[in-house]
Amino acid sequence: MKKTIITLILLFITIIGFTQQRAQNQNYQTVGYINTDGRIQNSNYQTIGYIKDNGRVENQNYQCIGYIIKDGKIQNQNYQTIGYIKDDGRVENQNYQCVGYVGKDGKIQNQNYQTIGYLPNVDKKWAAAFFFFFFEK
């Protein structure tokens, strides 16, 4: 649940300026999509969540599961901080421990710098969302 919250919250950042953005795993296989209407889909185009303009993140049943705060802070549905996205692309958990990186080119890496996915042409904060939801197991 924690990873889902962080992921969906971070997905909100990617929506601006794209009709549909495709996320790929390390083998360039499609694992999901983000649509400009805030809808999040898996690789089978099944809706798995929504991101609202105000930063509210909802699951597929429209229940609030978290929030994205403009300063890179990620909160759960109870407004507790559960993660951070730094300006340099570093993704941290609530204890400020690194869980991965998002490069300017859209490359998504785990904490050991192993490439686990791609989300090109997207702001690093948006790409970090896919790190949690689609790539991190």
Token readout for 24 is 């790929």
Alpha carbon distance 132, 93 (integer Å): 11
Residue 113: exposed, middle, or buried by beta-carbon count in 10 A (0-12, 13-18, 19+)? exposed
pLDDT of residue 5: 46
Taking a C-beta distance cutoff of 8 angstroms, is the pair 14, 123 a contact? yes
Reduce the DSSP state of residue 94 to 3 states and report it.
coil
The ranges of the chain with pLDDT < 50 are: 1-2, 5-6, 8-9, 12-18, 131-133, 135-137
Alpha carbon distance 126, 16 (integer Å): 9
Say what the pTM is.
0.68
How far apart, in Å, do the first and last CA atoms of the chain sit?
12
pLDDT of residue 133: 47
